[in-house]
């Protein structure tokens, strides 16, 4: 083997090694990217949850304050709501409680989503991680437990 072809051989070897390393790097970067995205959406959900809980606290405080105002006779006979409806004392309380129910439903929905994203189910037979909505294991076909919240 002459000197030039030896150098060419070394160069082509280096080139293929570099391209393998290049793929490895880009795969690592891609998976880091999706991890970051996952973390970000989890972070966003937690922020939403914190905000909703704060709003819920305010609503409940408002219910308490309104009831106390009714108790001491300080609540006007008719209350105007944000959307312009006129409510009496009982309707004002009902309206606040209805808002609290809606807020609680939103809180529950986000809590569910967070629980699902943090704890992925896995197959009891072969231990392969499965999607939360999967009914059967994609690897061995075993039936997965129905983990829908009660
Ligand atoms: Zn399986």
pLDDT digits (tens, 9 = 90+) for 29-42: 566 667 777 777 88
Distance 132 CA to ligand 1 centre (A): 14
Arithmetic mean of pLDDT, 15-35: 60
Distance 143 CA to ligand 1 centre (A): 8
Query: Domain locations in the chain?
Result: 3-118, 120-150
Q: Is the pLDDT of residue 60 over 70?
A: yes
pLDDT of 33 reads 64
Average pLDDT, the chain: 78
Q: Please, how many CA atoms are within 13 Å of residue 105, restricted to the half-sphere of its CB? A: 6
Distance 135 CA to ligand 1 centre (A): 11
pLDDT in tens, 99-145: 999 999 999 888 877 766 656 677 778 877 777 788 888 889 999 88
Confidence of residue 75 (pLDDT cuts 50, 70, 90): confident
Distance 77 CA to ligand 1 centre (A): 64
pTM over 0.85: no
What gap in Å lies between CA 63 and CA 119, rounded to an integer? Answer: 36
Distance 131 CA to ligand 1 centre (A): 12
pLDDT of 150 reads 43
Note whether 88 and 125 are within 8 A (CB).
no
């Amino acid at each position: 083997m002459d000197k030039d072809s030896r150098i060419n051989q070394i160069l082509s070897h280096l080139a293929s090694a570099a391209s393998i390393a290049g793929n490895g790097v880009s795969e690592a970067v891609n998976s880091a990217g999706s991890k970051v995205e996952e973390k970000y959406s989890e972070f966003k959900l937690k922020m939403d949850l914190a905000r909703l809980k704060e709003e819920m606290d305010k609503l409940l405080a408002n219910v308490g304050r309104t009831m106390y105002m009714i108790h001491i006779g300080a609540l006007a006979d008719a209350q105007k709501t944000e959307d312009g409806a006129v409510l009496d004392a009982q309707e004002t309380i009902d309206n606040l409680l209805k808002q609290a129910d809606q807020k609680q439903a939103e809180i529950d929905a986000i809590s569910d989503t967070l629980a699902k994203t943090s704890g992925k189910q896995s197959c009891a037979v072969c231990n392969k991680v499965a999607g939360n909505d999967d009914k059967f294991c994609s690897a061995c076909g075993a039936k997965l437990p129905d983990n829908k919240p009660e």
